[in-house]
Amino acid sequence: MSELNVTEAQFLQSYDPSRYERPIGVPADIVLFTISSESIAGSTKSLPKRELKVLLIKRKGHPDRGKWALPGGFSSPQETLYEAAKRELKEETGLDRIHFELLGLYDTPGRDKRGWVISAAFVALVNERYLAKRTAQDDAEEVGLFSIEEALSLELAFDHRDIIRDALKHTERQMLSTTIARELLDPEFTIAELLQVIQTVVPEYAMTKSNFIRKLLMTKSHPIIEPVEGQFSTAYSQRPAQLYRFVEGYEPVLSLYGDISPQQA
């Protein structure tokens, strides 16, 4: 009988999913970036040393046992891939309450030795304080933070090197086009701290402090930061430095054809 001549219920009752090849699983992989902050020995008025790092786990089971990998695992039919990512991260590292953004799907044939596996990769850039309580659990033998250079030099499991590279490019774009830097700063910060955070994620952003101030404060029709009246800091400078904060409720909308105001977006 033609499918055109049956009802929806009849079609579903007779439907045979085994007619089609299916992946053996759909995992969620998580790229967690953070910026470590370390005081410079012998200097009380210098900005701390900051470095972009990624969280990896050492696999306890096969395949690729003993290799470093991104945290993650197979989803179940009862959950979304986003829910699977949150569950797997907690089960492997003990970390919770982190907001992810979908990076993309990875489906290169042969990416997993077990068979046809399509992975959804998620990415987040979080303050290092959220990672303080990380502990290896479940399928993870160890949990560690690695600089990007260190991570990419390792023999990583699956295609996780490609995923990290893609996540890095995505995060660099986010850093230059959104206010994601606020995740890595205190609510009130100096211009020098903001510039350092941006350049830690995007080293190619070659901007002097004076040019950065002019570009950020004097050429924007809708400033993304504002001075905190009467608040200064001497933590990283001999002279008091003005403290700033991000303007609440405003996220820039960028266009190839010029600025778009919030009312026009």
Answer whether 94's CB lies under 8 Å from 35's CB: no
Cα gap 174→181, rounded to integer Å = 9
Cα gap 127→73, rounded to integer Å = 24
Q: Are strands 225-233 and 140-147 parallel, antiparallel or unpaired?
A: unpaired
Question: Which residue, 66, 82, 85, 53, is CA-closest to 139?
Answer: 66
Catalytic residue, candidates 38, 142, 149, 188:
142
Cα gap 100→209, rounded to integer Å = 31
Question: Which residue, 57, 204, 209, 253, is CA-closest to 136?
Answer: 57
| Whether 142 is catalytic | yes
Q: H or E element: which one contains 32?
A: strand 27-38
Answer whether 73's CB lies under 8 Å from 120's CB: no
Active site residues: 142
